[in-house]
């Protein structure tokens, strides 16, 4: 058990030391005032691409179309469930659990 603890502590120390070395090497760059990692021209091109992409996505995906598609899917699912329930009730009504005159009796009771 003590070997695992020493290995864990060793990995932790090595990890912290590695982060310290990276921070020491990058400190002058991080402390510089006017540092631009991307040239302004590339930045503008990137912004333009992002804005055109978002505009095209907004044009392609509208709330109304999304709502229409989702409501039609829900309607289709409900119709399928209704059909399955209807088939189950038909099987149940034609099974041996009910008498042949069950529905006639039911309708007669309903009329009265």
Model pLDDT, residue 77:
96
Higher pLDDT, 63 or 24: 24
**Domain of 27?**
1-35
Model pLDDT, residue 4:
85
Task: Kindly report the average pLDDT of the chain as a whole number.
Answer: 79
State yes or no: pLDDT of 39 exceeds 60: no
The count of structural domains within the chain is 1
In a domain, 83, yes or no: no
Q: What are phi and psi of 24, to 5 degrees?
A: -65, -40
* Average pLDDT, integer, range 61-81: 89
* Average pLDDT, integer, range 84-93: 85
Type and span of the H or E element at 88:
helix 63-94
């Amino acid at each position: 058990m003590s070997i695992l603890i020493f290995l864990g502590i060793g990995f932790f120390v090595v990890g912290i030391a590695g982060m310290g070395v990276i921070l020491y090497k990058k400190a002058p760059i991080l402390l510089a005032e006017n540092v631009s990692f991307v040239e302004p021209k590339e930045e503008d091109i990137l912004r333009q691409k992002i804005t055109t992409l978002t505009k095209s996505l907004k044009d392609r995906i509208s709330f109304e179309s999304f709502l229409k598609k989702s409501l039609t899917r829900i309607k289709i699912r409900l119709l399928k469930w209704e059909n399955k329930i209807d088939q189950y009730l038909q099987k149940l009504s034609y099974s041996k659990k009910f008498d042949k005159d069950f529905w006639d009796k039911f309708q007669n009771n309903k009329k009265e």
